[in-house]
A and B are shown apart, each in its own frame.
Chain A
Amino acid sequence: SQKIEQNSEALNIQEGKTATLTCNYTNYSPAYLQWYRQDPGRGPVFLLLIRENEKEKRKERLKVTFDTTLKQSLFHITASQPADSATYLCALDIGSGNTGKLIFGQGTTLQVKP
């Protein structure tokens, strides 16, 4: 069955540095991959989507890469701030691409220290 693994459960970095989170998957070739942010006690919030024919996508201080050969996505937050502290989830489509049927990684909790 499809598996998604995120590189670590927790990542601690200093304010101003770049945070890099990893998402690896197996047994599938998804049409797209998504990244979500989740704060304690709240539902996930969509951040970025990258398609299989896109190598990289950016949104403000966020950058996502997608390597379908390595079956890996990297999520970068540049010039990190304490407000970026949250859990970040990657997700990919396991349906036909028309249903939004997603599976999620277990998440990486990022702590940015002042």
Chain B
Amino acid sequence: NAGVTQTPKFQVLKTGQSMTLQCAQDMNHEYMSWYRQDPGMGLRLIHYSVGAGITDQGEVPNGYNVSRSTTEDFPLRLLSAAPSQTSVYFCASSTSRQGGKETQYFGPGTRLLVL
């Protein structure tokens, strides 16, 4: 299994541009989440999903959209990038099977710079 994969690894945007951060997992996990990580702030939950077609907001959802049309993919969209969205973005997945729904498997991250 590749686990959780994220693309791109690094991206530079200009203010106002839009882009989609891709996240995919091949473990058939029901739960997927997006976090951002900023220095001194820890990981903050942006959006999460408990299954295909079901998404909900986390702590810091403003400026981001998500959809979950398949179990495997959970893309994060920035509609109009702002410098405040400069961060490292992590996607994570988990499953209620094997008694481990709470354990998150993280991807390698996407480093985003908004100028």
Contact = CB atoms under 8 A, between A and B. Distances in A.
Interface stretch (A12-20, A41-49, A56-64, A71-79): A41-49
Nearest to B4: A43
B88 to A, nearest CB: 9
Interface string A93-114: 1000111111111110000000
B86 to A, nearest CB: 16
A68 B106 CA distance: 27
Given A43-B90, A99-B31, A105 B105 contact: no
Interface residues of chain B: helix, strand, loop or mixed (majority): strand
CB-based closest 10 A-B pairs: A43-B106, A106-B42, A104-B43, A104-B42, A100-B94, A100-B31, A46-B103, A44-B106, A43-B90, A99-B50
Name the residue among A44, A89, A91 with the largest chain B CB count within 10 angstroms.
A44
Interface of A: 4, 9, 32, 34, 36, 41-46, 49, 89, 91, 93, 97-107
Contact of A106 (B41, B45, B58): B41
17 contacts: A9-B40, A36-B104, A41-B109, A43-B92, A43-B109, A44-B43, A44-B90, A46-B104, A89-B42, A91-B43, A100-B31, A100-B94, A100-B102, A100-B104, A102-B102, A106-B41, A106-B42
Given A43-B107, A99-B31, A89 B58 contact: no
